[in-house]
Amino acid sequence: MHHSRRALLGSGLAALGALPFLSRGLMKEALAKEGAGPAQRLIVFFTPNEPVHADHWKPAGIQDGDALTSLRPMMESLEPHMQDILMIGEMEMHTRGAEPHGAGHTGIGHMLTGRLVEPYGPGAAEFWASGASVDQHIAQALGVDALTLGVRSGGANGNSRISYTGASQPVHPQTRPDQAFDNLFSDFTLPPSELAELRARRLSVLDRVAGDLQGLSSRLPSEGAQKLDVHLTLVRELEQKFESDTTLECDPGDGPPALDYDSNANVPIATTHQIDVMVQALACGITDVASLQIGNSGAGSLTPLWAEAGIDYNIDCHTIAHDWANGPEQLERRLALESFHFRQFAYLLQSLADYPEGTGSMLDNTLVLWTKNLGFGHNSRRMLHMLCGGACGGLDTGRYIEREGQGHNKLLTSVCNLMGVEQESFGDPQFGQGALDLA
């Protein structure tokens, strides 16, 4: 099946660089055929707490550069996709040692930004990241609108956000897949004349709002003016979205049903539906960058009473994560929880692999970053990272590489480069320069 893209009426390839919400699919498809990368799209996948400990994720006896031929039991759901995984072991977050604010969970603000956080109060969660995250940075460079999704992702605080458009500019994830689907696709269901009239009306409203923003900003002291300037930028982006004359060339189907997606009981079904919406949005070319955040840094508000998803404990995930070394029962619980997390990731990889694209599947043309902000205990050493998918030929998967002690900023730089956004370093350069050697 030929992959679907939104078509821009009457425009040619020359316009590809200029307008937002336009995927670079045509150009990249051509490059992918050459096997040269860059990846067509990026997905970031986050699950809470640590991947237990290296004893439980590192295949027995494996060395740097070895092929991946087996996985630890906790990760067995990924075995069908070993060939699609580049497992990167033993890295660190150098930001952690330098971070004065808070404790173990603050690193979630470093994870995709490569920077120390910006506190606004003494409370452990009273901080925001101090720069753009790699997903939003890449989305901006590509001129697309990143899709930021979450499942029971916590409140508006530093412990609960992974994605940022800038310093103290968190992007709150959409936590309801039915609403996310509507936001992505519902406009396209209107008849063209009605859509045109609606968009004209909306543009006149936004024009008035932009006028208010500019006027007010000029009359306020700098602190307020800065906030309004960010607000104005968002209004301008929304205007551009309404101005672009687009049609949808794929059939997204009906989308997920309305459920109480914010409840603890529905975490597994919410995750499945979020993954479905994400894959659909990417397949339809509405965006090329997406992230999914399950829970938040500690996941204290998630309790895995999810028998239908293969795990059933009446103890919250944060307690399970802390308690694992206290006895065999606790370890078993901990491994069961992390296995559940890996099963969700396996579903994502399988969904991408199942979607035909070009001469292969979406997975061939995608770069997936699997990441956490913790390694073991409350620290960010001996970490596990994974880069998955073909990245249009730019990624050599099916292997394990060990990069002991190297800083995660370098991995973020590599992600940028693999997406065709070339740069020397990402985040604060004092925590790592250059890209990671993935060979």
315 binding another protein? (CB under 8 A) = yes
The residue among 377, 347, 378 whose CA lies nearest residue 78 is 347
Considering only 16-24, 70-78, 223-231, 385-393, which stretch makes contact with another protein by CB under 8 A? 223-231
Sequence-separated (6 or more) residues with CB below 8 Å from residue 393: 32, 34, 35, 36, 37
Rule CB under 8 A: which of 227-246 touch another protein? Answer: 227-228, 230-231, 234-235, 237-238
119 near another protein, rule: CB under 8 A:
yes
What's the closest the beta carbon of residue 228 comes to another protein, in angstroms? 6
Type of residue at 17: G
Q: Closer to another protein at the Cβ: 16 or 305? A: 305
The residue within the footprint of another protein, chosen from 113, 169, 274, 409 (CB under 8 A), is 169
Of 175 and 417, which CB lies nearer to another protein in the complex structure? 175
Q: Which is nearer to another protein, 144 or 395 (CB)?
A: 144
Q: Does 322 bind another protein (CB under 8 A)?
A: yes
Among 4, 11, 140, 168, the residue binding another protein under the rule CB under 8 A is 168
Q: By three-state DSSP, how is residue 396 classified?
A: coil
Q: Is 31 in the site for another protein (CB under 8 A)?
A: no
Residue 406 vs residues 93, 97, 358, 391: alpha-carbon distances, Å: 8, 13, 36, 23
Residue ranges in 275-294 that form contacts with another protein under rule CB under 8 A: none
# of chain residues touching another protein (CB under 8 A)? 76
**Residue 220 CA: distances (Å) to CA of 166, 207, 227:** 22, 20, 10
Q: Residue 360 in 3-state DSSP?
A: strand
Binding mask 326-365 for another protein (x = CB under 8 A): x---------------------------------------
Is position 301 an interface residue for another protein (rule: CB under 8 A)?
Answer: yes
Contact 373, 110 (CB under 8 A): yes
Packing angle of the helix pair 267-283, 177-185 (nearest 10 deg): 20
**Residue whose CB is less far from another protein, 302 or 395:** 302
Please report, as residue ranges, which positions from 121 to 150 form the binding site for another protein (by CB under 8 A): 121-124, 126, 128, 145, 148
Minimum distance, C-beta of residue 23 to another protein, in the bound complex (Å): 18
Q: Which residues lie below 8 Å from residue 298, measured CB to CB, with a gap of 6+?
A: 48, 49, 105, 159, 317, 318, 321
- How far is residue 201 from each of residues 197, 204, 207, 210, 412, measured CA to CA in Å? 6, 5, 10, 14, 41
Residue 118 makes contact with another protein by CB under 8 A: yes
- Write the CB contacts of 288 (distance below 8 Å, at least 6 apart in sequence): 23, 24, 25, 40, 41, 42, 139, 142, 144, 282
Q: Which of 4, 183, 266, 350 binds another protein (CB under 8 A)?
A: 183
Q: Within positions 193 to 222, which residues make up the interface with another protein, using CB under 8 A?
A: 201-202, 204-206, 208-209, 211-213, 215-216, 219-222
30 binds another protein (CB under 8 A): no
**Could you give the string, one character per residue 415-434, with x where binding to another protein holds by CB under 8 A and - elsewhere?**
--------------------
The verdict on 55 binding another protein (CB under 8 A) reads: no
Nearest to 381 by CA among 356, 353, 396, 403: 403
405 is an interface residue for another protein by CB under 8 A:
no
Phi, psi of 255 (to 5 degrees): 80, 170
Q: Please state whether the peptide bond connecting residue 38 to the residue before it is cis, i.e. omega within 30 degrees of 0.
A: yes
CA angle 233, 238, 241 (to 5 degrees): 130
Where does this chain touch another protein (CB under 8 A) — which range of 53-61, 76-84, 120-128, 342-350?
120-128
Report the relative pairing of strands 7-8 and 366-371 from DSSP bridges.
unpaired
Q: Does the footprint of another protein cover residue 266 (CB under 8 A)?
A: no
Residues, the chain: 439
Which residue stretch of 109-117, 312-320, 352-360, 429-437 sits at the interface with another protein (rule: CB under 8 A)? 312-320
DSSP-assigned beta bridge partners for residue 376 = 379
Q: Which of residues 63-102 bind another protein (CB under 8 A)?
A: 96, 100, 102
Q: Is 159 in the site for another protein (CB under 8 A)?
A: no
Give the one residue of 66, 76, 249, 323 binding another protein; rule: CB under 8 A: 323
Q: Which of 379, 402, 406, 430 binds another protein (CB under 8 A)?
A: 379
Q: Which is nearer to another protein, 274 or 303 (CB)?
A: 303
Binding residue (CB under 8 A) for another protein from 223, 254, 308, 329? 223
C-alpha R_g of the chain: 21
| Residue 274 Cβ vs another protein, minimum distance, rounded to whole Å | 14
The residues facing 276 across adjacent strands are none
